[in-house]
Amino acid sequence: MAEAERIIGTPGSQEPAPEQTEESAPRGKRRIAVLLAVAATAYALDLFSKMLVVAKLEHHAPVEIAGDLLRLVAIRNPGAAFGIGQALTIVFTLIAATVIVVIARIARKLYSAPWAIALGLLLGGALGNLTDRVFRSPGFLQGAVVDFIAPAHFAVFNLADSAIVCGGALIVILSFRGLDPDGTVHKD
């Protein structure tokens, strides 16, 4: 009975229950499971695709998917997009690790499913590329990322990069719509 009174307030009381006050309004269930499921899926797809590319495509001729518009070609990229910063591999490794830590901190207050999806995509992508940086040659924290999707007149990328871009785009959309990770909506 005390639990029921705590949740709905005491009978005849004009005050809302503690959870019902504006400062501590219940936001529903935290969405950490959604974040982890999306991250695990993005990470697994990236890891599996890179293993397949290294086993079947590396040291072979590119595979044409749509003529010159889209090819699959295995390359090792020590830098960022478009091969920028190839001498800064350790910096990109630290950035990926920082992104993972920031997402873990945000997850504690995550009550929005769209934000959970966006952050899950970022987390899965960051983990995918971080795995390459840690475990691939030339060595620990300096590994080159396996890229293989090669559209015409664009940078070669991988599924982790796609997850990061999609997650980032979703975060921009959510921010413009005024939705915060904690589920609150701003109407400005």
Catalytic positions, please? 147, 161
Contact 90, 142 (CB under 8 A): yes
Cα gap 93→132, rounded to integer Å = 9
How far is Cα 160 from Cα 153, in angstroms, rounded to an integer? Answer: 20
Asked if 87 contacts 142 with a C-beta cutoff of 8 angstroms, the reply is: no
Distance, CA of 75 to CA of 64 (rounded, Å): 15
Rounded CA-CA distance 171/116 in Å is 10
What type of residue is 172?
A: V
Phi (first) and psi of residue 141, to 5 degrees: 65, 5
Q: How far is the C-alpha of 188 from the C-alpha of 185, rounded, in Å?
A: 9
From the list 158, 140, 138, the residue with the least C-alpha distance to 78 is 138
